[in-house]
Amino acid sequence: MKTLIPSIKGTRDFYPEDMARRNWLYEKIRQVSLAYGYQEYDGPFLEKIDLYAAKSGEELVKEQAFVFPDRGGDLITLRPELTPSLARMVSQRQGRLVFPLRWWSFGPFWRYERPQKGRTREFFQWNIDLIGPNSPEADAELVAIAAGFFEATGLTPDRVAIRVNNRKLMETQIQSLGIQVAKRQDVFHLIDRRDKMDPQAWEAYARERGLENSQVRGILNLLADSNLWQQSAEMQRFFAALDALGASSYVHFDPAVIRGLDYYTATVFEAYERAAGGRAILGGGRYDNLVSDVGGAPVSAVGFAMGDVMISIVLAELGLLQEGIGSGARVLVTVFDETRLAAAYLLASDLRRAGVNTACYPEAVRLEKQLKYADRMGMRWVLISGPDEEARGLVTVKDLKEHTQIQLGYSDLAQVFRGMLALERAV
């Protein structure tokens, strides 16, 4: 006990209260995903490194993936993202699957990064994708799902927002400024960095990239134009669909949203906390080369990913994350003394068989201690049976919340508890 082996850097221990929060988050994600008709799936947690080399950015695989050789010498990767596995799964059954696919997943991922606020090395991520159709309406559906999730967790539009842009729109605009196609990635990168640098440094950086003053000014004008979306028929359809889906209050057009990832091809979006310095909560967009990158026929897809760490921080700061989860049971059977241990276990067992989650104190210690235990574990009812109760065939039922206690006949207990638990759930 003297030398504790520390946990791996960037991992988290999930104590029961943490696990309760994680499950709560999972449940919200699940409800929203199912509401839109999405099916849950998952891929392996381990993949060959080649799967990522085919598609992901270099940084992700070379710098940030956990990679190790297996006993046969193959390089194995703890999955840093799900999309390549998804691409393979779709590709393998491309002829058999019924499109459009609506798939979602929530599972662990690993990235070898320096931990900081909102970032760990082991985290959970919600992935959700609509695969097959290539339409602005499909894009709107994914954004509406993100908005629906926020709504379900109590995050109102004044706290979080989703900004949307379209890379094709931006490409057209950039071209009309007389910037060659070859510099497109540079310009995207430039736009992405706009609010991370001070204006002068940004302009100097732009000129280093070979942009003329007029072009830099042109880009700045684009970024200031909140009506730019009206020049894109796709974006007009997108916002019309979003309106129909009832998600508009969370969403606005923002020409500065580009997303770092190279594989996005059209719509891109990200959700962020409105508070000062609010970081990105989720991000996604349309990517058209999903399956062809792993060797299948081209399929278009739109989707997003949300890590559990940042959203949990945001929810916790606003007091929206479920707190104070106690024992799984609401009922504790106390043990009056050594001679009544078996009787207590029998009582608890009978209640369980009747469908009431029940814990029994496992040793005959002072009643005071058992009551305190129930209280601290968040159990509401305590059953006591000593000589007095036994003589009359009754059991004392103490309600720790209401500070009341009554005596019931042994055979009535199960039914009464089912009623009380149902009543409690209804409240």
Partner RNA sequence: GUGGCUGUAGCUCAAUGGCAGAGCACUUGACUGUGGAUCAAGGGGUUGCGGGUUCAACCCCCGUCAGCCACCCCA
Where on the chain is the footprint of RNA (CB under 7 A)? 6-7, 9-10, 56-57, 59-60, 64, 80-81, 83, 111, 113-119, 192-193, 196, 259-261, 280, 283-284, 305, 336, 366-369, 371-372, 375-376, 384-389, 396, 398, 400-401, 403, 405
Q: How far is the CB of 360 from RNA (least distance, A)?
A: 16
d(CA 375, CA 190): 58
User: 3-class DSSP state for residue 105?
Assistant: strand
Q: Report the alpha-carbon distance of residue 92 to residue 97 in Å, rounded.
A: 10
DSSP annotation of 10 reads T
Identity of the amino acid at 286 = R
Handedness of CA 231, 237, 243, 247 (dihedral sign): negative
Nearer to RNA, 6 or 95 (CB): 6
Rounded to the nearest whole angstrom, what is the least distance from the CB of residue 115 to RNA in the complex?
A: 4
CA torsion sign for 134, 285, 302, 58 is positive
Provide the minimum distance between the beta carbon of 272 and RNA in the complex, in angstroms, as a whole number: 11
Strand partners, 167: none
Residue 329 CB, shortest distance to RNA, in Å, is 15
- Residue 13 CB, shortest distance to RNA, in Å, is 11
Given the complex with RNA, which of 353 and 372 has the nearer CB atom? 372
Shorter beta-carbon distance to RNA: residue 42 or 192: 192
Q: What is the DSSP letter of 377?
A: T
Output DSSP code: residue 358: E
Kindly report the backbone phi and psi dihedral angles of residue 33, in degrees, each rounded to the nearest multiple of 5, phi listed first: -60, -45
For RNA, the closer of residues 144 and 190 by Cβ is 190
Residue placing its CB nearer to RNA in the complex, 246 or 409? 409
- C-alpha to C-alpha distance for 58 and 351, rounded to whole angstroms: 58
Cβ atoms of residues 238 and 302 within 8 Å = no
Q: Which is nearer to RNA, 117 or 425 (CB)?
A: 117
- Whole-number minimum distance, CB 279 to RNA, in Å? 7
Tell me the C-alpha distance between 322 and 17, whole Å.
9
SS (H, E, C) 185-216: HHHHHHHHCHHHCCHHHHHHHHHHCCCCHHHH
Taking the C-alpha atoms of residue 298 and residue 286, their distance in angstroms, rounded to an integer, is 13
From the CB of 259, what's the least distance to RNA, in Å? Answer: 4
10 or 107: CB nearest RNA: 10
State the pairing for strand pair 122-132/46-48.
unpaired
User: Which residue lies nearer to RNA by CB, 67 or 280?
Assistant: 280
Q: Apex CA 38: angle with CA 34 and CA 40, to 5°? A: 90
* Min dist. Cβ of residue 331 to RNA (A): 13
